[in-house]
Amino acid sequence: MTTQIKFGTSGWRAVMAEEFTFANVRRAVHGIARYVVSQKPKGAKVIVGRDPRFLGETLCTMASEILSAYGITPLVIAEAAPTPAISYAVTQAKADGAINFTASHNPPEYNGIKFSTPDGAPALPEATKRIETEIAAFDAAGGNGAGKKGPESQSLDPRRMYLSRLREIVDLNVIRKAGIRVVFDPFWGAARGYSDELLREGGVAVESVHDYRDVLFGGHAPEPDDHLLGDCREKMRETKAQIG
């Protein structure tokens, strides 16, 4: 039985190896590619990014190949990146959208796809319904419809442009002069190397916990629930930090 792929404003999420399979991901990306081409038949470019979840790199490669087959230039982010940075990159790169493989705060067995429109915002219902229609049309055509290999993928670094913007709107001098110590806990997620790096660059004392890749997120959903903050609290006590 064919899985029905439904997009909400937070995208499509499902359990890996159950509904979130390579076959279903291909169907979803074909639907997105067909939608993008319907909006911009020639010269489109789409950002492809991910969070640190299992097989993220493989999914990005798969999506890039499908986009290319539709004549769309994939702008690929090599490292895991937070959703706000990917959204901002859409506007700065003047891209025609972004495919972001992420399940946000869902448990580690989940993955998902978020599609952002050219303004960097999550796709609204009128867009997601069109994508679902395109997936159905792709299925009805027997899984055919893309052409031959098209544009080569290009690399994109959202971190550089996102941190550059934050430097413009965050007064790091004020934070540094306050003399505070900070503990940063990204919960093994995509924010590693963003806020913490910006603060360190500004001369703020920052200690980090859980700042390495773990596709199981320590065995929990990657969200700051009270019962998951023990390591952060302990590091705050150890370093006499004021903020965590």
Residues known to be catalytic: 104
For 57, the token pair is 């790199």
Pairing of β 12-15 and β 110-116: antiparallel
CA gyration radius, the chain = 19
Grouping H, G, I as helix, E, B as strand and the rest as coil, residue 82 is coil
Q: Classify 59 as helix, strand or coil.
A: helix
Residue 167, helix vs strand vs coil: helix
Classify 8 as helix, strand or coil.
Answer: strand
Q: How many helices (H) and strands (E) does the chain have?
A: 8, 8
Which has the closest alpha carbon to 205: 233, 180, 240? 180
Only one residue has tokens 């544009």, namely 151
N-to-C CA span, the chain = 47
Please return the burial class of 180, using the count of CB atoms within 10 Å of its CB with bins 0-12, 13-18 and 19+.
Answer: middle
